[in-house]
Structure 1
C-alpha cells in the first residue's frame, strides 16, 4: 500500500475519493508511516456506509477498503 515517495497530495487524494464516491463527506486524510513506507489513511462517510481506506501516495489507488454499512 505504501511507498517511499509522496507524489499525490492530500487534495489529490480527496479528488480521487470524490470521483469514486461522489457523495463522500467528512473526508479525513492522514499520512501514516510504517518503516520507510508511507501511505494515506482515509476515512469518510457516504449515505450508505462508513469507509476506512489505505491509499497509495504515488498512484492514488485504493490499496485497502473497509466498508461498514449503516
Structure 2
C-alpha cells in the first residue's frame, strides 16, 4: 500500500513545473501545463518507492491531477 497523500502528490508535481505559475487544479492537463516525460518518470520512481503501483502509460493516458490521485490513492 502506498504511503502517498493527496497534498504530497500535488506538491511533487508542482516542484517539477517551475514555469507554471499558479494553482494546479484537478482537471488540468499536466502535460499541457509543461510536465514532460522525464519529469513523469521521476515522479513515477518517487511514487513507486512509497509502494504505489502505477505505470507510465497509465499516467500519460490520463494526465490530470484528479486521474493521477485516483490511480495513486485508490
TM-score, normalising length: structure 1: 0.37
More helix by share: 2
TM-score, normalising length: structure 2: 0.36
Give the greater-gyration-radius structure (CA). Answer: 1
